[in-house]
Amino acid sequence: MNAPTDVPQDAVVNAFTVDVEDYFQVSALAPYIPRTRWEAIPCRVERNTDRILELLDVHGARATFFTLGWVAERHPQLVQRIVAGGHELASHGYAHLRASDQTRQEFLDDIVRAKQVLEQIGGVAVSGYRAPSFSIGAGNLWALDCLREAGYRYSSSIYPVRHDHYGMPDAPRFRYQSRDGLLELPVTTVRVGARNWPAGGGGWFRLLPYGISSWCISRVNRIDRQPAIFYFHPWEIDPQQPRVGGLDPKTRFRHYVNLGRMEGRVERLLREFRWGRMDQVFSTGAGT
């Protein structure tokens, strides 16, 4: 077999995705912030997501916003601005519960509720889903059947990496059909040696030098000849967010590292690569 021919980087449209949740809803902070406190904590997600919408508009980019139903109910105008901006509205579940922590019926109820809330507020069909903390893996693949039953067309929930909180390292690295009528679109990884390494955003994007992420995305575009999928959260561009006390050192480092540099890095990413919505980049049939 001949080696793949390099594809010009500027010919590839990658998928830019945002997991719309507030800082106090992060799974790693769950032991420190009870859900019973959520209603009493001032939300920052709307202002941060609006800033992301501004950045995308400046650079002429479109994105997919995997949005919590909980957030949508409290900030309906934000959801409507996402749709009005030409972006894809997708589901992050309703209550930011890890799929692996729920029964099959609990999970189905959550994803159905989220889809209904988002569609009612946004006025568009919702076809994509991303599990909180990429919490679909080898131990709960029944969740894919639930997604199909609930009417989703694609998922971006199985991360083919080794991680202490999630991951299915033997899963395919690129788009595949996980069930009849359901696509899985994994967040981007690069293959180095015998291991997949995260290359699609999140904490790694904040932790490592920008050039590493740029190199990884370019490699996926040119060598793998695939679009990359990048993700991050609105709270990651908010260095002024309240600090949560009592965190263990690992959680504190992962959550707060380089928050002050994140917005500049996102802007650089938007300048360097072409970006679009998941449903359009991957032709999921989910609409335009």
Q: What is the pLDDT of residue 11?
A: 79
**How many alpha carbons fall within 13 Å on the CB side of residue 172?**
11
pLDDT of residue 1 exceeding 60: no
Q: Is 285 left (phi over 0), alpha (psi -120 to 50) or beta?
A: left
Task: Encode pLDDT of 15-74 as tens digits.
Answer: 999 999 999 999 999 999 999 999 999 999 999 999 999 999 999 999 999 999 999 999
Among candidate residues 210, 228, 245, the one with its CA nearest the CA of residue 281? 228
Residue 12: predicted pLDDT: 93
Mean pLDDT of the chain: 93
231 sits in which H/E element: strand 229-232
C-alpha pair distances (Å), 288 with each of 83, 120, 124, 125, 127: 11, 18, 10, 10, 11
Q: Give the containing element (helix H, strand E) for 284.
A: none
Residue of 144, 118, 121, 87 lying closest to 278 (CA atoms)? 87
Angstrom distance (rounded) from CA 81 to CA 108: 28
Can you give the pLDDT at residue 23? 98
Token representation of residue 204: 């790694």
237 compared with 171, residue with greater pLDDT: 237
pLDDT at 225: 95
- Which pLDDT band holds residue 285 (cuts at 50, 70, 90)? low
237 pairs with which residues across the strands? Answer: none
Correct CATH for 9-281 of 3.90.230.10, 3.40.50.11540, 1.20.1600.10, 3.20.20.370: 3.20.20.370
Asked if residue 259 lies in contact with residue 206, where contact means CB atoms within 8 angstroms, the answer is yes
Q: What is the pLDDT of residue 194?
A: 82
* Overall average pLDDT of the 189-206 stretch: 90
How many CA atoms lie within 13 Å of 115's alpha carbon, on the beta-carbon side? 22
By the 8 A CB rule, do 119 and 159 touch? no
Q: pLDDT tens digits for 263-278?
A: 999 999 999 999 999 9
Query: For 116-126, what is the mean pLDDT?
Result: 98
Question: Exposed, middle or buried: residue 5 (CB in 10 Å: 0-12, 13-18, 19+)?
Answer: exposed
pLDDT of amino acid 87? 98
- What CA–CA distances, in Å, run from 96 to 83, 200, 232, 285? 21, 21, 15, 26
97 or 165: which leads in pLDDT: 97
> pTM of the prediction?
0.94
